[in-house]
Structures are given as C-alpha cells and as structure tokens.
Amino acid sequence: MSAQSQIYFRLPDTLGAWPWQRRINPRSATVSAASATWIESFRVFSPRAQTAFNKCNFGLLASLAYPSATPEQLRAGCDLMNLFFVLDELSDAGDESQARALANTIMDGIRNPHKTRPTAEPIVGLIAKQFWARVIKWAGSEPQRRFVATFDDYCESVVTQARDRSSSHVHTVDTYLAVRRENIGAKPSFALMEMDMNLPDESLGHPVVVDLTTWAIDMIIIGNDIVSYNVEQARGDDGYNLVAIVMAQHKLDLNGAMRWIGHYHDHLLDLFLAHCDPASELAGPLPSWGPRVDEELKQYIDGLGNWVRANDSWSFESERYFGRDGLEVMKTRWLALLPKKQQKAGEIGCGPDPADSAQPSS
C-alpha cells in the first residue's frame, strides 16, 4: 500500500478521566517469570509461536491487575492469564466440537485437581489441574465456588464463540456484549480478586455491585477490542470485534466507529464513577453487611476500577497488539491500518510486522 493511500485511524482516549492510576505488584518480575517458565514447560506451542506468546507478557497483565496481591495470589493471577490465552489460541484454531473438547477437559481439570490426567487428552487439562491445585491450598471455600462457576461460564462462551465463528454469525452490539461479557474472562478474574476475602453472595449480588461489575467488564471489552482491531482485521479475524460490529450495524467508517465507541465508553465511565461514589444519589448507599464485609466490598469495587486501568496499561506495554510501538501509540492514539495478511497455521498473532507498523508523521 502506497503512502498516499495509507489509511490512518485514531483510538479513542477512553481512560483520560479515569481516576485509577497504573499500579504494579512489586513482586511482578519474579512471580511472572516463574509462571512463564511453568506454562512454557508444557510445550503447547512451536518455538516460534512460544516466542510470540512470551512477548504478550501475560504475567504483566496479572501484575497490573492485582497490584497488592500476596505472592500466592499473584502467582494464581499470572497462571490464570496464561491459561486463558493458551485456551484462546487453541480454541481459535478449531471448530465447535474441538472447542467443546477443550472446555470439557479444562473444567474436569478444575473440578478434579487431584485426578491423574489421561495422557491422550489435550494438555489444558493438566495445566488447569496444576493451576487450581495451587489455588485451593489458600483460597476460601466460597470464593472457590464462585470461581469454578464463572470459569465454567467462560468455557461455555468459548464454545459459543467457536460456533459463531463456524456459522459466520453476525452479532449486533447488544448481542455481542451479552456473549462477550462471559468470553472476555473478566468474571473469573474478578473471582480470583476476592479469593482471600469472605464476601457473602448477597453483597456481590446487590444490584449496584452487579451493575458496577457489568460496566467494568464492558469497559474492558471496549478497551480490548479497539486495540486488537488492527491486527485482527489484518488477518481476517475481526468478526468477533466490537469495532467491526459497530461499523456494520451503524454503517460507519473506521474512524466513525471509533468515535461511536468512545462516546459509548464515556457513558459507561460516567455511570461507574457516579454509582461507586458512596455519596451518590443515583445508587443510594449500599446496605451494611458489617465492618469487615463492608471494607472488603470496598476493596473489591476498587479492584474493578483498577482492572479497567490494568487492561489498558498492559495493552500498550506488552507487544500483544502493537509490537514495540505500544507506548508511542498510547501517546499519539494514531495507527496505520495494516494490510491484509493470512495467518499461518500454528502462528500466534502478537503485534504487527515492523514493516507494516508505520505511524503518521504528525
């Protein structure tokens, strides 16, 4: 594509007014490295694909998402992020039946962490088993139950995505968000956040907390989809992306869709900030479940806000979407539309090729 015909687009600055600032767990380097070594030991990918996987730095995401976590909690977070993306890569390469087999295997590993895994099954069963066997040594029983339930929903959504992909199902914004709220993996990640707490179901199920959780998830979805759109459209894998859905549903060009999504995100941001304020007249004060629960619920809601920031920071700091240009893109918000390229079998999408990542000169 010539310089004259190059298309540029601008990412909306979704978190310009977000009060949660970037924080990182001081144990990040050592714990993230241990988790990365663990996941690499399973030899899921070819050497080239493993190198690309490592550049995504999923331990960094966990370290940003759980900045105050203990070493055990942070290791669980790093392992979970790695597990998510291993399953994501494996399921993306298969059809619905293959995704179902992966989902069943991984849930059996979670539900039966002391069971010897069959040697012929997909490796995700053993990965899930080892991850969960570590967690149950220190996590509370109720958070464990909630994690298993939300992770099961996540696995089911992976199967749904594979079915949608095979049938070329076209979503609207509303139907896409409904499916993606399970598929993004936020709910199990939030459940992990409260593993050392003792929150009753009625506190997490309070309408205000449910709304805050949903708005945080939707902001994470938007953050993910705007930064991943370029590499996904380049490899023809943008059917499951909010940007492409908005373009089709509202008949907008790329920059128009980005502006539409930016305004939508602003609305979610305003709702979240208004309702998480204890003095808010919109939500009214949350009931008290006692000093300890009230304090833990406050920490949980703060964790939701931090997760939105963590996802955004990782998106630009890792090489997952922009290669080594992430910090520059975060500053300028401008990107050149990548040319279409067919992804090779077994290849992991991680950032653009350097030759294709030209930025606008001003």
What domains, with CATH codes, occur in the chain? 24-175 (1.10.600.10), 197-341 (1.10.600.10)
pLDDT confidence band for 359 (50 / 70 / 90): very low
Sign of torsion, CA 39 56 342 355? negative
Mean pLDDT in residue range 231-249: 94
CA 269/CA 291 separation, integer angstroms:
28
Are the CB atoms for 68 and 27 separated by under 8 Å?
Answer: no
| pLDDT given for residue 279 in this prediction | 59
Are the CB atoms for 28 and 63 separated by under 8 Å?
Answer: yes
Quote the radius of gyration of the chain (alpha carbons, Å). Answer: 20
| pLDDT given for residue 350 in this prediction | 59
3-state secondary structure of 48: helix
3-state secondary structure of 91: helix
- DSSP per residue, 312-331: HHHHHHSSTTTGGGHHHHHH
Mean pLDDT in residue range 173-191: 96
Mean pLDDT in residue range 144-169: 91
3-state helix, strand, coil in the chain (%, to 5): 65, 0, 35
CA 150/CA 181 separation, integer angstroms:
11
Decide: residue 22, CB within 10 A, 0-12 exposed, 13-18 middle, 19+ buried.
middle
Sign of torsion, CA 104 109 114 116? positive
pLDDT in tens, 280-308: 666 567 889 999 999 999 999 999 999 99
pLDDT confidence band for 1 (50 / 70 / 90): very low
Are the CB atoms for 218 and 264 separated by under 8 Å?
Answer: no
Locate 268 and state its tokens: 């979610």
Are the CB atoms for 323 and 205 separated by under 8 Å?
Answer: no
What DSSP element (H or E) covers 303? helix 291-317
Locate 110 and state its tokens: 């979670």
Mean pLDDT in residue range 113-140: 95
| pLDDT given for residue 349 in this prediction | 56
Mean pLDDT in residue range 82-90: 93
Mean pLDDT in residue range 136-156: 96
Locate 117 and state its tokens: 């895994």
| pLDDT given for residue 356 in this prediction | 45
The mean pLDDT value of the chain amounts to 91
pLDDT confidence band for 276 (50 / 70 / 90): confident
- DSSP per residue, 124-171: HHHHHHHHHHHHTTTS-HHHHHHHHHHHHHHHHHHHHHHHHHHHT---
DSSP 10: E
| pLDDT given for residue 352 in this prediction | 58
pLDDT in tens, 310-352: 999 999 999 999 999 999 999 999 999 999 886 554 456 555 5
Q: pTM of the full predicted structure?
A: 0.93
Mean pLDDT in residue range 15-44: 97
